[in-house]
Amino acid sequence: MNHLIEAARFARENAHAPYSNFKVGAALEDLNRRIHTGCNVENATYGLTICAERVAVFKAISGGLRPLQFRRIAVVADTEELTPPCGACRQILWEFCGDIEIVLANLKGKSESLQLKTLFPRAFDGRFL
Protein backbone atom coordinates (compact mmCIF):
# COMPACT_ATOMS: atom_id res chain seq x y z
CA MET A 1 0.00 0.00 0.00
CA ASN A 2 2.93 2.36 0.60
CA HIS A 3 3.74 2.44 -3.11
CA LEU A 4 0.21 3.65 -3.82
CA ILE A 5 0.44 6.41 -1.21
CA GLU A 6 3.83 7.48 -2.59
CA ALA A 7 2.41 7.65 -6.11
CA ALA A 8 -0.42 9.87 -4.84
CA ARG A 9 2.06 12.10 -2.99
CA PHE A 10 4.10 12.47 -6.15
CA ALA A 11 0.96 13.26 -8.22
CA ARG A 12 -0.01 15.89 -5.65
CA GLU A 13 3.08 17.89 -6.58
CA ASN A 14 1.60 18.45 -10.05
CA ALA A 15 -1.63 19.95 -8.71
CA HIS A 16 -2.72 23.27 -10.18
CA ALA A 17 -4.27 25.00 -7.16
CA PRO A 18 -3.45 28.72 -7.43
CA TYR A 19 -6.73 29.83 -5.84
CA SER A 20 -7.14 27.52 -2.86
CA ASN A 21 -3.56 26.30 -2.51
CA PHE A 22 -5.19 22.98 -1.54
CA LYS A 23 -3.20 20.38 -3.45
CA VAL A 24 -4.46 16.80 -3.66
CA GLY A 25 -2.98 13.74 -5.31
CA ALA A 26 -4.62 10.43 -6.13
CA ALA A 27 -3.31 7.06 -7.27
CA LEU A 28 -5.75 4.47 -8.61
CA GLU A 29 -4.60 0.86 -8.79
CA ASP A 30 -6.15 -1.39 -11.42
CA LEU A 31 -6.60 -5.16 -11.26
CA ASN A 32 -3.22 -5.66 -12.97
CA ARG A 33 -1.58 -3.51 -10.24
CA ARG A 34 -0.86 -0.65 -12.65
CA ILE A 35 -1.18 2.79 -11.10
CA HIS A 36 -3.06 5.70 -12.68
CA THR A 37 -2.43 9.06 -11.02
CA GLY A 38 -4.29 12.32 -10.86
CA CYS A 39 -4.09 15.71 -9.20
CA ASN A 40 -6.62 18.46 -8.73
CA VAL A 41 -6.75 21.15 -11.42
CA GLU A 42 -8.45 24.40 -10.42
CA ASN A 43 -10.24 26.93 -12.56
CA ALA A 44 -11.08 30.50 -11.56
CA THR A 45 -14.79 29.64 -11.60
CA TYR A 46 -14.23 26.77 -9.12
CA GLY A 47 -17.21 24.95 -10.65
CA LEU A 48 -14.97 23.81 -13.49
CA THR A 49 -12.30 22.56 -11.12
CA ILE A 50 -11.68 18.82 -11.24
CA CYS A 51 -10.54 16.74 -8.28
CA ALA A 52 -7.55 14.40 -8.23
CA GLU A 53 -9.70 11.30 -7.86
CA ARG A 54 -11.74 12.03 -10.98
CA VAL A 55 -8.61 12.86 -12.97
CA ALA A 56 -7.15 9.46 -12.05
CA VAL A 57 -10.35 7.60 -12.99
CA PHE A 58 -10.79 9.47 -16.27
CA LYS A 59 -7.15 8.96 -17.24
CA ALA A 60 -7.50 5.22 -16.61
CA ILE A 61 -10.74 4.96 -18.58
CA SER A 62 -9.39 7.07 -21.45
CA GLY A 63 -6.30 4.82 -21.43
CA GLY A 64 -8.42 1.77 -22.22
CA LEU A 65 -9.58 0.36 -18.91
CA ARG A 66 -13.22 -0.45 -18.44
CA PRO A 67 -15.35 0.24 -15.36
CA LEU A 68 -14.89 -2.06 -12.37
CA GLN A 69 -11.29 -2.97 -13.25
CA PHE A 70 -9.84 -1.27 -10.15
CA ARG A 71 -8.66 -2.45 -6.72
CA ARG A 72 -8.13 0.69 -4.64
CA ILE A 73 -7.32 4.39 -4.68
CA ALA A 74 -5.09 6.47 -2.43
CA VAL A 75 -5.86 10.14 -1.78
CA VAL A 76 -3.19 12.40 -0.28
CA ALA A 77 -3.56 15.97 0.99
CA ASP A 78 -1.51 18.16 3.31
CA THR A 79 -4.07 18.24 6.12
CA GLU A 80 -4.03 17.20 9.75
CA GLU A 81 -7.35 15.39 9.42
CA LEU A 82 -7.40 12.88 6.56
CA THR A 83 -9.34 14.21 3.57
CA PRO A 84 -11.98 11.92 2.00
CA PRO A 85 -13.24 12.27 -1.58
CA CYS A 86 -15.95 14.87 -2.16
CA GLY A 87 -19.49 13.84 -3.11
CA ALA A 88 -18.91 14.13 -6.86
CA CYS A 89 -15.80 11.96 -6.60
CA ARG A 90 -17.64 9.39 -4.51
CA GLN A 91 -20.26 9.11 -7.25
CA ILE A 92 -17.65 8.69 -9.99
CA LEU A 93 -15.67 6.19 -7.92
CA TRP A 94 -18.82 4.16 -7.22
CA GLU A 95 -19.88 4.02 -10.85
CA PHE A 96 -16.45 3.29 -12.34
CA CYS A 97 -14.77 1.38 -9.50
CA GLY A 98 -17.50 -0.13 -7.33
CA ASP A 99 -16.94 -0.69 -3.63
CA ILE A 100 -13.16 -0.28 -3.78
CA GLU A 101 -10.73 0.32 -0.95
CA ILE A 102 -10.10 4.00 -0.24
CA VAL A 103 -6.74 4.83 1.33
CA LEU A 104 -6.60 8.30 2.89
CA ALA A 105 -3.21 9.73 3.79
CA ASN A 106 -1.51 12.99 4.68
CA LEU A 107 2.06 14.24 4.33
CA LYS A 108 2.81 13.48 7.97
CA GLY A 109 2.54 9.72 7.45
CA LYS A 110 -0.95 9.25 8.87
CA SER A 111 -3.20 6.94 6.84
CA GLU A 112 -6.48 5.07 7.04
CA SER A 113 -8.12 2.50 4.80
CA LEU A 114 -11.86 1.97 4.34
CA GLN A 115 -14.31 0.74 1.75
CA LEU A 116 -16.12 3.22 -0.47
CA LYS A 117 -19.48 1.89 0.73
CA THR A 118 -18.61 3.21 4.20
CA LEU A 119 -18.24 6.72 2.77
CA PHE A 120 -21.10 6.38 0.29
CA PRO A 121 -23.96 4.26 1.65
CA ARG A 122 -27.00 3.70 -0.54
CA ALA A 123 -25.25 5.02 -3.63
CA PHE A 124 -27.20 5.87 -6.79
CA ASP A 125 -26.15 3.99 -9.92
CA GLY A 126 -27.48 2.44 -13.11
CA ARG A 127 -29.67 -0.01 -11.20
CA PHE A 128 -32.11 2.85 -10.60
CA LEU A 129 -32.44 3.91 -14.23
Which of the residues are catalytic?
Answer: 53
State the Cα–Cα distance between residues 81 and 72, nearest whole angstrom.
20
Return the SS3 of 73.
strand
How would you class 71 by CB atoms within 10 Å of its CB: exposed for 0-12, middle for 13-18, buried for 19 or more?
A: middle
| φ and ψ at residue 43, rounded to 5 degrees | -130, 150
